[in-house]
Chains A and B, each alone.
Chain A
């Protein structure tokens, strides 16, 4: 069963809520980064919300996903808790990765979210592997890899899709074509216009959907998921979408003009979907406003949660390297700590 049904009113409202939550989370994260409260690199998902939410709504909770460096949207769409996500962005012990991962590596294995990923194109082989586990163990779950347009040029993505196709693995490869691979337009990185056309070389279905339309993504992923569960193998879906922000926060964006952004914003995935729900009577204007303010409060609370959460103890840097620890790390740690290095200056 899909986790959220677009066929009923409550489902559609939940889909809208999740898209709004992503937008609010990422807008807030962008502000906090600009203010210097969040360190490191932050890649925002604003503009692409329909892809993550449309896809994850079509998945069962047992289904796996792999994500990208632009992963906050996938996390929220998969049902992760904004408090613990924000805590991870703040480097807190209560974050999903105990502060070891940060924005680019949020993962929640219990939610079958196998991690955001700092390496472009690294998720698809992992999804192929998760799908292999499902097939090997005779499970009913599938694995969906989110990947960007840039990743389509990566060799390991080809290898992952070829393997999944050859073995009829229950996988879905969802290309989020946001039209820029880092700072270079997609059409300067690929010699095909529709990235879904690569599917033909694997003898699997490939098609392009409007990634600004959550219903289009949802239906496509639902069909692909059914196909995967029926043992018919993987599907490649390209969602045509757009990121409103830079590749990373602080990106000067010399590569595009504001007109393009405006053009895409006219088809904003949240506004258009909200409008449709209001037109249909699924939601009133007042209820939409109420939803927006609830979400704003929720994200504000997440920020407070993160600010108040404990930082990890420096000694935790030595944890989690192995299931069966090695003496080397214990020894090096004890030497450093005996010297007072890595002490409690923070």
Chain B
């Protein structure tokens, strides 16, 4: 039986795109990411049992340097090819799926989604370094490492500290489809351009798998209208129009609170689908433009069988006391 093992993946590109300029998104630098990765290695020591760490290589060589500088036999580099694109995340996720007990991922919603698609049932500890982050949690790397180690060693039962995050899917009537973790959007543009959706006014509508007031982007807009937890298994469809009679305030991008015109909305239960008919549009997922569509119908629906995300608070609620806690108490 192999030792408990956690996977570690850092997206070197997260937190560095053009949204640093257009909104108030914070910058995430390589040095900070590398330090965070090193913190994970330290954090695993909080579990009583030893834990191996397998680190995914990346185009920014953050993983590679972390392993080289750790110089410990229980820290290894995952043997997968690196191409400097999001395909790296998919490849790493597929490899992790077979051999690790939990994965710590540093990135934003996009990175987490890329990992979620391939990771199967492995518990995912998503730590925020990205931009429009709805899903990942801003938590210190050491704490994330400790949580991963408790889960991997079985000190905390994964069933007590994880939840299934609903996904949201857009299906184009030409056969193409794409899944977002938190949001899919229908953008009133004809051209993908760079991936980031820069202007919230460009959304014609979309769907979300979660809705809460404090979230950024479409799920925050939906959160102004209703509340849907990520593990509800359902979603919300939104129809947006800057000229609509009704509008709500929401955090549309980091640094911007504004009124968003809502022409209509509805809950989406499993099996429900909201169809958008468009002449020319771009479909975005989790804030990134992905598909150009022309004269098409786009169906948006929730997909309940999403990835298994770790609730950090729940992990530490269930975490055991230190092995020597009683001895200390007696003295």
B16 touches A207 (CB 8 A): yes
Segment with Cβ contacts to A, from B22-30, B70-78, B108-116, B122-130? B22-30
Task: Name A240's closest neighbour in chain B (CB-CB).
Answer: B84
Contact of A209 among B18, B29, B190 (CB under 8 A): B18
What are some 15 contacts across the A-B interface (CB < 8 A)? A12-B191, A187-B61, A193-B30, A196-B16, A200-B27, A200-B29, A205-B21, A207-B27, A208-B16, A209-B17, A210-B194, A220-B18, A223-B18, A263-B83, A281-B294
Taking residues whose C-beta sits less than 8 angstroms from the other chain, chain A's interface range is: 20 to 34
A216 touches B12 (CB 8 A): no
Q: Is B20 an interface residue (CB 8 A)?
A: yes
Q: Across the A-B interface, how many residue pairs have beta carbons closer than 8 Å?
A: 77
B192 touches A215 (CB 8 A): yes
Q: A193-B61, A263-B83 are in contact. Are A7 and B21 (CB under 8 A)?
A: no
9 additional contacts (CB under 8 A) given A192-B30, A192-B31, A197-B29 = A193-B30, A194-B16, A206-B20, A207-B17, A207-B21, A213-B194, A223-B21, A227-B21, A280-B292
What 3 A-B pairs have minimum CB-CB distances, sorted nearest first?
Answer: A193-B60, A216-B194, A215-B193
Q: Is A219 an interface residue (CB 8 A)?
A: yes
B residues lining the A interface (CB < 8 Å): 12-13, 16-18, 20-22, 27, 29-31, 59-62, 83-84, 190-195, 198, 292, 294
Could you mark each residue 267-307 of chain A with 1 if its beta carbon is under 8 Å from any beta carbon of chain B, else 0? Answer: 00000000010011100000000000000000000000000
Contact of B22 among A7, A223, A276 (CB under 8 A): A223
Q: Is A235 an interface residue (CB 8 A)?
A: yes
Q: Is A224 an interface residue (CB 8 A)?
A: yes
Task: Name B13's closest neighbour in chain A (CB-CB).
Answer: A208
A97 proximity list for chain B (CB < 8 A): none
Q: Is A127 an interface residue (CB 8 A)?
A: no
Contact of B193 among A192, A194, A216, A235 (CB under 8 A): A216
Q: Which of A12, A207, A235, A240 has the most CB of B within 10 A?
A: A207
A226 to B224, CA, bound (A): 32
A239 to B188, CA, bound (A): 27
Q: Is A87 an interface residue (CB 8 A)?
A: no
A235 touches B17 (CB 8 A): no
Q: Is A38 an interface residue (CB 8 A)?
A: no
A219 touches B193 (CB 8 A): yes
A220 touches B194 (CB 8 A): yes
A208 to B21, CA, bound (A): 11
A263 proximity list for chain B (CB < 8 A): 83
Q: Is A6 an interface residue (CB 8 A)?
A: yes
Query: How near does chain B come to A143, taking the closest CB pair, in angstroms?
Result: 18
Could you mark each residue 216-231 of chain A with 1 if its beta carbon is under 8 Å from any beta carbon of chain B, else 0? Answer: 1011100110010000
Task: Name A216's closest neighbour in chain B (CB-CB).
Answer: B194
